Structure formats: structure tokens, C-alpha cells
Amino acid sequence: MTEKFNFADRIKRLREKIYSEKIDGVLIGKPANLMYFSGFRGDSTFLLISANSKILITDGRYTEQAKIQTSGFEIVRQTEGLFKQTEETIKNSGLKKIGIEGKFLTVNEYAHLQENLPAVKLKSVEVDSLRQAKDSGEIELIRRACEIADKAFAEILKFIRPGVRENEVAARLEYFMRLFGAEKIAFDTIVASGVRGSMPHGTATDKIINAGELVTMDFGAIYKGYCSDITRTIAVGKISPDLRKIYDAVFDAQNFGLKVIKPKKSGKDCDAAVRERFKAADLDKYFVHSLGHGVGIEIHEEPRLSKLSTCESLEPGMIVTDEPGLYIPDSGGVRIEDTCLVTNTGVEALTKSPKDLIEI
């Protein structure tokens, strides 16, 4: 996979971050960032990157893999513990001020570094934001992950009927995604039917799906390290007028979101615009989560489309979800979600499954 990406540019931007933070180097251990900056797809590993060096520290399980997946890194094999070797490597490097992933390291791990590196100053830095705008290689893989999820959805429509259990639906969705090329699922598959639809994260249970119910399915595939995320809600037989009203409101809001999400728009503004759409229908109290989130190596990453978003300006190449939903206690719920690519002029839904109400 390394040939798909410009790792030199990624390291260049990371080194610019190092310079702007006034540190000598950065220690990276979060698996998503290991992969992004080096191509390595293991765990129990650190990258130590400075202005003049790139070091990958791992154990005997991963040394051969690291040689295959990375280029230009000095690979150091640890035999007495990852932290012991990492601390020794930092001491030998002569670096005096190191950036660490403060949101990733545990308190105990940070204390261990502090205790064993008394001459080194540690500073928490945030490097996840460097992954926000996707390059052409990343977009290609996310498109493929979305295609896999779309194909799985088309197949599951042939299976769902009254009497089937939610966990049977989840199992088959996951099977189809693997069959069509996914490495694994991107997150625990959500299948919530009937009154359980009022739970936004209602993972599948042994509940039987009945006629007259809505079924919400939220699922995603990982393809070569990159995620997709899609939600569709379908009807099993005819549903009540009240449920149809909720579905139509979400369908309207989700399509409105595709018009709102565009370059230069802030994450807060996108969320607020769709929230106002629900408010005009007196339904906003049932919209209990944010409009969307970034998707990439991780299923939830920056930028966020929410009330608390720190994204001041969406940019082309960013990939986010558009996923409004309404959740009515003791009645049910609806969510419709696409994985979306921010383009030069607007947004493109990468998940293509139909969104008009499907009645099985």
C-alpha cells in the first residue's frame, strides 16, 4: 500500500508541526498515526521523528513487517520492553524536547517517560489534525470501502423479513462485507428495529423483527486500512403515518445536509443549519447527536460537524458523514447517513445506496 501515498509529504508536514511547536521531535504510538506517517500497520510500536531522523521501534513480531511496509525508517528491535528501548533511543538521539500524543498515552505511560527521561521535556502535541484532508490514494480506498458497504446493503435487502432476528441481519451484513473485500468491519454493526430504533447506538440483539416496524442499520467496512460508514432505515411492510412522518423529516434533513456541507463552511454552521431544519418541523428535541464526523483510518476522527466542532473551515479532500436522525422514545427512530467527500464546490456522497423509503 505504500506506493499509493506520498509519505515524504506527510513527514514534511509533521516536521513543520515539530518546528511550529518548538520541539526537537515527536513520539508517535497511536496506530492510526503509525499507519499514516509510515505505512506500518501493527501495534506496540513507536515512531520517533525529528528534523533529521525517522526511527521505528518495535519487537520481533513486527520487524519483518515494518521493513516491508515502510521506507526510509531506521528500524530498532526492542527485546526488553517497548518503553525501555524507546527511552534509550531518545537518550541516544540527544533530543531535549519531545512532543507526545497526550490524548493517546495513558497516565502511567506518561509517568514512565517522565521518570526515565529526567533531562527531556515532554510536551503534549496533537497530530491527528494532519490527517483531515485526504489525498487521492486515501479517497480511492474510502470509495472502495463505501462500495463494499453498498453491495452488502443490496444483499441484506433480500434477507430481511418478519421473523428474522437483528443479530442475524448484523451477521449477514458483516459476512457480505468480508465477501466483497473488506478486511473487517469498521465498528460494531448497529441493527435496531421497532421501538429499539430510538437508541442511536442500538447494536444488534436477538430481538425478532416484526411487520410494521422500521429497521435502522448502521455499518461500515475497512478496506486496506480505511473506513466507510453508512446508515439506512427501511420498513418491514407498511408502517404507521407517524413513523412515515419521522422518516420523511430525516430524509429531508439528510438531503439538506448534502447542500449545506461545502468548502469554507464551519463544522458548527453545518450542524446548526440541519438542526434548524428539524426545529422548523418542531422535531429538533429528538435529534440527540451531531450531524457528522470525519472518516478515514479511524471511523470517528476530525473534522466534526457538531455544536462543539473546532473546524472553522471545511476544505476539499475532507471526508465527513452526513447523518441526521430522530429518536422517539417508545416509538422508534430513523437515521440516514452517507460518507461524503468535500469537493471544490460542494460535497459528494460516496455511499450510493437508495434513500427513498424501502418497504420489504
Q: Per residue in 79-114, pLDDT tens?
A: 999 999 999 999 999 999 999 999 999 999 999 999
Pairwise CA distance, residues 334 & 139, whole Å? 28
Residue 4 pLDDT grade (very low, low, confident, very high; cuts 50, 70, 90): confident
Give the pLDDT mean for 133-146.
97
pTM for the predicted model, two decimal places: 0.96
pLDDT digits 0-9 by tens, 23-69? 999 999 999 999 999 999 999 999 999 999 999 999 999 999 999 99
Cell matching residue 96: 531535549
Cell matching residue 255: 438531503
Instruction: Single out the residue of 240, 186, 191, 245 nearest to residue 213, CA to CA.
Output: 240
Work out the end-to-end distance of the chain between its first and last CA atoms, rounded to an integer number of angstroms: 40
- Cα angle 105-111-112, degrees, rounded to a multiple of 5: 90
Determine the residue type at 35.
M
Instruction: Single out the residue of 183, 150, 186, 156 nearest to residue 169, CA to CA.
Output: 156
Answer for the pair 336, 251: CB distance below 8 angstroms, yes or no: yes
Mean confidence (pLDDT) of the chain: 97
Pairwise CA distance, residues 198 & 213, whole Å? 12
pLDDT digits 0-9 by tens, 171-212? 999 999 999 999 999 999 999 999 999 999 999 999 999 999
Half-sphere exposure of 38 (CA within 13 A, CB side): 32
What proportion of the chain, given as a percentage, has pLDDT over 70?
99
